[in-house]
Amino acid sequence: MRLWMKGVLIRFGLSAFLVTGFFWSSLVAEVAYAKPVITTGAGYKTMVEALVAAFRETGGQIEEAYGGHIGQLVAQIAQGSGSNIVVSDQGTLEAVAGDVKFASFTPLGETPLVLAWRKGLSLKEPNDLLKPEFKKVAHPDPKGAIYGRAAVAYLKSSGLGDRLGDKVMAVSSVPQVMAYLVAGEIDAGFVNRAVLKADNQIGGSKEIETGYPPIKMVAAVVDGAEADPLIQAFIKFLSSQKAKEILRSFGVWL
């Protein structure tokens, strides 16, 4: 009887050891190899979603992707939100990083500031904004959007800002500028190429190529996550032909 019980205990102990070992090895693997969690600005949410969908089609694993006010989202990383990749322009990331450190910056390409206007109006050059039919001109909030800062820099360097005066207003984001244009609530606005997929709903657009610092888009990996193979796989995918096609379709190219 005692020998039988001893055998049962040995078998039970071995089984428990194997189950426990499997549990801990799985847990360690999950902790060690975190899936990519991506953060981006509101103006590039659709672009990042397209990249994520294409990456998943290759068998790649991504936990989640978020888009919004980039400054707030980066601040949340410092508080432990779990995001480990940020897609934005390098200038913004350096400005809002705070306590967040980045291990690497993968270049995605450059993209220009774009001036767009509503249906029913026409514009050949930015100085046309001085015409009386352009009563409201909007740009994204420069505190949270690179295109807001680029627009403010351009308006200052060109002298248009002082001449337009109260015509100029700031709204929260690039998508909001575009939404106001489509609805006809503003007459012109500064946006990016990425939102111009809806350009058939507006009067037209014109790229502004000078008068502001270059906008260099990057994928930044949060410090401490750079060794994870799943994150490395996504960063490698961003250099693929498929990813470059998607980036180019949203107005970003090397």
Question: How crowded is residue 151: how many other Cβ atoms within 10 Å of its Cβ?
Answer: 29
Residues 106 and 63 in one domain: yes
Residues 186 and 239 in one domain: no
Assess if residue 19 is contained within a domain: no
Residues 237 and 123 in one domain: no
Residues 101 and 184 in one domain: no
- In three-state secondary structure terms, 123 is coil
pLDDT score of 209 more than 70 = yes
pLDDT score of 38 more than 50 = yes
Closest CA to 69 of 219, 216, 171: 171
Contact 134, 128 (CB under 8 A): yes
C-alpha 97/C-alpha 70 separation (Å) is 10
pLDDT score of 65 more than 50 = yes
C-alpha 243/C-alpha 254 separation (Å) is 12
Assess if residue 175 is contained within a domain: yes
Listed ranges 39-53, 60-74, 179-193; the one with the highest mean pLDDT: 179-193
Q: List the domain range (segments joined by +) for residue 133.
A: 113-208
User: What pTM does this model have?
Assistant: 0.77
- In three-state secondary structure terms, 169 is strand
Closest CA to 50 of 209, 254, 239, 249: 249
CB-based contacts of 244: which residues, under 8 Å, 6+ apart? Answer: 253, 254
Lowest-confidence region among 18-22, 99-103, 248-252 = 18-22
The CA–CA distances, whole Å, from 55 to 85, 236, 240 equal: 14, 10, 10
pLDDT in tens, 82-91: 999 999 999 8
pLDDT in tens, 148-174: 999 999 999 999 999 999 999 999 999
Closest CA to 221 of 76, 77, 84: 84
C-alpha 105/C-alpha 90 separation (Å) is 8
Closest CA to 170 of 199, 142, 196: 142
Residues 123 and 160 in one domain: yes
Residues 46 and 129 in one domain: no
Residues 134 and 192 in one domain: yes
- If one counts the domains in the chain, the total is 2
